[in-house]
Structure 1
Amino acid sequence: MGIWDVKPDSERSEWVFEPHVGVGPLRFGMAADEVSGALSSKAPLSRRVQRAAGAYQLVEEQYTKLGVTAYYGAGQTLACVAVNALRGPQVRLAGEPLVARVPSEAEEWLLVHTKAHGLDLICTHAGDPGSVDLGLILRAQRAGDIVLSRPLFLIGEWVENGWDCIPGEEWSTF
């Protein structure tokens, strides 16, 4: 697989997002060893780094082969999962695919979904749409000459304080 190749949905794992509960086999509040155990059959841990994000100290774990990054906050528990648009699992909410979509289509779906369910809609400092009620931010990621959706699944506090909680390396991923 080349640097800009996008894995087709037919080759991606299928995950479901449960707002404020978890995504796929991962549950918010899990310890790093529990996350590793849940993902080890799919991909080994590639890299573990301690980072500062604003006033927060956190741990970042990358599962490169799977296309997933896990972020741990206070108490070293899972607080955010980023899914790589090029090779990550396809994650669905209410049956709708959220990964590797044209950002304008994903944003339009989010607008309709939040309005239909009476949920909030926010815009991050980086211009990404999201919802505290869902624990979701729809970011964008470059795939060669195109851009695709790269969702972040988070606990509510992290959506509200994204600039402080999420490390700069994640915000600069494009």
Structure 2
Amino acid sequence: MPDADTVGEGRYGEFGLHVYYREERLAGIAVDALCGPQVSADGAALADRVPSVVERWILDRAESRGPEVSYLSAGVPCSESPGQPIPGRSAGAGHWPRR
């Protein structure tokens, strides 16, 4: 039996998705911003956006919902409710155009 801290991973490249699970339950989903599906939360599109715009959305959303922001390595903010990590890339680099 896997350790409770062990996270499994499944890759579904044809759909642009990576899924993560722990203790046989879904723990997270990562969407490829270039070829994965459009993802939205509270009516806001999260894929194909300038990372700094999504970061601002997460921080503004947290103000109205209470403390739900955590930080990944290098200070990258992550919203706990949709679980949307923000790529560590500056707005000056532009956005990733969808294929």
* TM range, smaller chain: 0.7 to 0.9
Instruction: Work out whether residues 67 and 87 of structure 1, in 8 Å CA contact, stay in contact via their aligned partners in 2.
Output: yes
Question: Residues 69 and 136 of structure 1: is their aligned pair in 2 closer, same or farther, counting only changes over 3 Å?
Answer: same
**Consecutive aligned runs of 4 or more in structure 1 exceeding 4 Å deviation:** 145-148
TM-score normalised by L of structure 1: 0.45
Within a 5 Å distance, the mapping from 1:35-114 to structure 2 comes to: 56-74=5-23, 76-114=24-62
TM-score normalised by L of structure 2: 0.74
Provide the residue aligned with 1:138 in structure 2.
85
Within a 5 Å distance, the mapping from 1:142-157 to structure 2 comes to: 146=94, 148=96
Instruction: Work out whether residues 85 and 141 of structure 1, in 8 Å CA contact, stay in contact via their aligned partners in 2.
Output: no
Higher deviation after alignment, 78-87 or 123-132: 123-132
SS in 2 for 1:72: strand
Question: Residues 123 and 141 of structure 1: is their aligned pair in 2 closer, same or farther, counting only changes over 3 Å?
Answer: closer
Identical aligned pairs, as a percentage? 34
Greater fraction of residues in strand: 1
Distance 1:139 1:131 in 2: 9
Q: Deviations over 1:33-80 (max 9, x none)?
A: xxxxxxxxxxxxxxxxxxx9xx83232111101100111112x22111
Aligned length: 91
Instruction: Work out whether residues 131 and 137 of structure 1, in 8 Å CA contact, stay in contact via their aligned partners in 2.
Output: yes
Measured after TM superposition, the shift of residue 121 of structure 1 is 2.1
Instruction: Work out whether residues 16 and 35 of structure 2, in 8 Å CA contact, stay in contact via their aligned partners in 1.
Output: yes
Instruction: Work out whether residues 76 and 88 of structure 2, in 8 Å CA contact, stay in contact via their aligned partners in 1.
Output: no
Q: Deviations over 1:69-108 (max 9, x none)?
A: 111112x221111111111111111100111211100011
SS in 2 for 1:69: strand
Distance 2:34 2:64 in 1: 30
Distance 1:121 1:78 in 2: 20
Measured after TM superposition, the shift of residue 140 of structure 1 is 1.6
Measured after TM superposition, the shift of residue 136 of structure 1 is 1.5
Question: Residues 141 and 90 of structure 1: is their aligned pair in 2 closer, same or farther, counting only changes over 3 Å?
Answer: farther
Distance 1:115 1:121 in 2: 10
SS in 2 for 1:139: coil
